[in-house]
Amino acid sequence: MLWVGLAVLVIIIAIIVVLCSYMRGEFYFSRVKDNDTLTVEMRGLFGLVRYRYVIPIIQFKGFTQGILIKSEKVTQHNAKLKDETREHITKDKVIAFYEEAKDVLVHTLNLYGWMKMTLAKVECTELKWITRVGLGDAPETAITTGAIWGIKSSLLGFTIRYVKLIAKPRIDVIPQYNEKQFATEFRFAGRIRVWFAVTAGIRLLYRAAKIKGGIRTWIQFALKARARFKPAS
């Protein structure tokens, strides 16, 4: 009985530790000339669970073909390429996704309220957005720099309003008066405790269950999203 009691105690402690640990996420985007890179990374259980999604190529192919995206999935230690896919994001696909998202919104009780409540538990651990801009003309460059500053200030205010900021943001716009250039680097890192993530998921299921067909709509939405990110054979 003593060993059974110790085993139960260890399991309880392990569950508490897991629930009190953080789920961490990072979003990174950079554009230098014609080179675009977008990276999304998720980590949990003290780094034991890790997912990294990389899009090294984003090309606009015109209004007919849309945007070409080359994506890569790598292993936990980033040592080996796991999957590689190419996909065209067309106007029809964007419209279809919009309709699916709108359907989810209709079939969830106060989804906006749930999002605000969940974001309030997210802690921003890093916020960096550096932009270099030059139009080849000093007055036009100065005006554009001011406009970009205004956009960044508005977005920063939105972030502070909904997410707890625990790190000093690094925001800058660097004018390049003597050359034509546009380069930007954006990084956002955040974390949320597993306990808050679990309770948020339970609340979401409850809100969906309050609307007829809500659970079915979310299942269909999740299956379609999974199919989009499924690597091509």
Give per-residue pLDDT as tens, 178-231.
888 888 999 999 999 999 999 999 998 889 888 888 888 888 888 776 665 554
Please say whether the beta carbons of 42 and 23 come within 8 A: yes
Q: Which 3 state secondary structure label does DSSP give 64? A: coil
Please say whether the beta carbons of 84 and 74 come within 8 A: no
The overall longest dimension of the chain from CA atoms, in Å, is 81
Average pLDDT over residues 141-167: 88
- Residue 69: its pLDDT value, please? 54
Residue (of 112, 101, 108, 117) closest to 207 by Cα position = 108
- CA 11, chain centre distance (Å): 32
- Residue 14: its pLDDT value, please? 85
- Cβ contacts of residue 212 below 8 Å, gap of 6+? 107
Sign of CA dihedral 130, 135, 138, 141: negative
- Residue 228: its pLDDT value, please? 59
Please say whether the beta carbons of 86 and 70 come within 8 A: yes
Cα three-residue angle 82-83-88, rounded to 5 degrees: 160
Please say if the pLDDT value at position 21 is more than 70: yes
Residue (of 191, 188, 214) closest to 119 by Cα position = 191
Q: Which 3 state secondary structure label does DSSP give 60? A: strand
Quickly state the pLDDT bin for 81 (edges 50, 70, 90): very low
Ranked by mean pLDDT, which of 9-13, 58-62, 116-120, 158-162 comes out on top? 116-120
Please say whether the beta carbons of 28 and 186 come within 8 A: yes
Structure tokens at 70: 């080359």
How far apart are the C-alpha atoms of 124 and 159, rounded to whole Å? 9
